[in-house]
Amino acid sequence: MILILSAVIAVVFGSGAFLILQRDLFRVVVGIVLISNAANLFIISAGLTRGEPPIYPLLEGATIADPLVQAMALTAIVISSSVAALLLSLVYRLYVAHDSVDIEDVSAAEVREAEALERDEDPGRDPEREEEPRGSPGDVGLREDTR
């Protein structure tokens, strides 16, 4: 039983990992959802006991399932579904911005933007760039003071 459970969890996780490595952002989201599912299954199967539902009145003499992992898995399911919703809206937003859901296009756009920023020489980026032009000798203050 344990072996089979572990195998299934590993298969689900592996499929999720495979999907995360894809170019298509939508597939990446699907991969993340699969990995969350694998994690939730892992939480539930890590329960200390497995048996009847933990609802009163309890069955006499039977093993009662572990309620704590169920509560945690429930929380995890809700949170991972909200995260999936968030990721989907992010994919939509990326499509709107770049007209593509391909990660290559997105990272190419990011590199382009970084280069554009560097070329504009935003003075706030590197505070130490001011050092070089200074150093003019004379008995004047070596920095332009604003006030």
35: closest CA among 70, 71, 87, 94? Answer: 87
From CA 10, how far away is CA 13, in angstroms rounded? 5
Between 61 and 141, CB nearer to another protein: 141
Q: DSSP character for 144? A: -
Shortest separation between residue 60's beta carbon and another protein, angstroms:
14
Compose the 85-114 pattern: x for residues touching another protein by CB under 8 A, - for all others.
Answer: xx-xxxxxx-xxx-xxxxx--xx--xx--x
Touching another protein, residues 16-45 (CB under 8 A): 16-24, 26-27, 30, 33-34, 37-38, 40-42, 44-45
Q: DSSP character for 79? A: H
> What is the separation, in whole angstroms, between the first and last Cα of the chain?
76
* 116 binds another protein, rule: CB under 8 A: no
* 137 binds another protein, rule: CB under 8 A: yes
